Amino acid sequence: MGSRASSLLREEDIEEIKKETGFSHSQITRLYSRFHSLDKGENGALSREDFQRIPELAINPLGDRIINAFFPEGEDQVNFRGFMRTLAHFRPVEDNEKSKGHDASEPLNSRNNKLLFAFRLYDLDRDDKISRDELLQVLRMMVGVNISDEQLGSIADRTIQEADTNGDMSISFSEFIKVLEKVDVEQKMSIRFLH
């Protein structure tokens, strides 16, 4: 099955995906095989339902938010290239890549792009700000009923108070970056993909 799936992927597509995402040839073919096995409609694209069948996402409290990140605004399917672009945010940054930094475009797995991906998980209405209500909704997703609404409200208020430097009662991307300045985002937002 794996060889049939990888034979559907053209060599020039693999090369373009390598350049765009930084994944190796073998990682791309392995992920294509996984993509193909998830594609229940066998139409070369994944639906939200296809993602919901992934056990790790099904049990993740932010699973729906992560799934949404794979789909461009208004789209209900994602092709292999879009799938790979989103996964690239989770590719570990190797030491030699950190020192490069010379090419014109920032790699998808850069610290800034990882932070932007995380920020968008919280920015539910996509207005480039995290409001108290959005923060509460995401906190509620993460903790379920284990904490009272009053405690969650207190956490949300404290978080906004600490992060909001311009006094607009929300968290902008630049304020989000500042709060996470000392957090090892590269490590925390990385998945080890087999070579």
Q: Is the pLDDT of residue 192 over 80?
A: no
Q: Is the pLDDT of residue 3 over 60?
A: no
CA 52 to chain centre: 15
pLDDT at 127: 96
State the virtual CA torsion across 121, 123, 129, 131 in degrees, nearest 10.
Answer: -110
The tens digit of pLDDT for each residue in 20-43 reads 999 999 999 999 999 999 998 888
In this structure, which topology does domain 98-188 adopt according to CATH? Recoverin; domain 1 (1.10.238)
Domain with CATH 1.10.238.10 in the chain: 2-64+74-88, 98-188
Give 2-64+74-88's CATH code, choosing from 3.30.70.3270, 1.10.238.10, 3.40.50.2300, 3.30.450.20: 1.10.238.10
pLDDT at 153: 94
> What percentage of the chain reaches a pLDDT higher than 70?
90
Q: For residue 132, with 0-12 CB atoms within 10 Å meaning exposed, 13-18 middle and 19 or more buried, which class applies?
A: middle
pLDDT at 182: 87
pLDDT at 190: 79
The tens digit of pLDDT for each residue in 84-131 reads 999 999 998 764 444 344 345 789 999 999 999 999 999 999 999 999
State the virtual CA torsion across 9, 19, 189, 134 in degrees, nearest 10.
Answer: -90
| Global pTM exceeds 0.95 | no
User: Rounded mean pLDDT of the chain?
Assistant: 87
Tokens 């989103």 found at? 86
Phi, psi of 75 (to 5 degrees): -95, 150
Measured CA to CA, the distance from residue 185 to residue 159 in angstroms comes to 18
Helices (H), the chain: 2-7, 11-21, 25-38, 48-52, 55-59, 63-69, 80-88, 95-100, 111-122, 132-143, 149-163, 173-179, 185-188
CA 75 to chain centre: 16
The tens digit of pLDDT for each residue in 66-94 reads 999 999 888 999 999 999 999 999 998 76
Q: For residue 89, with 0-12 CB atoms within 10 Å meaning exposed, 13-18 middle and 19 or more buried, which class applies?
A: buried
- Greater pLDDT, 152 or 100: 152
The DSSP bridge pattern shows strands 77-79 and 45-47 to be: antiparallel
> What percentage of the chain reaches a pLDDT higher than 90?
61
- Closest residue by Cα to residue 90 from 59, 69, 75, 71: 69
Q: Is the pLDDT of residue 160 over 90?
A: yes
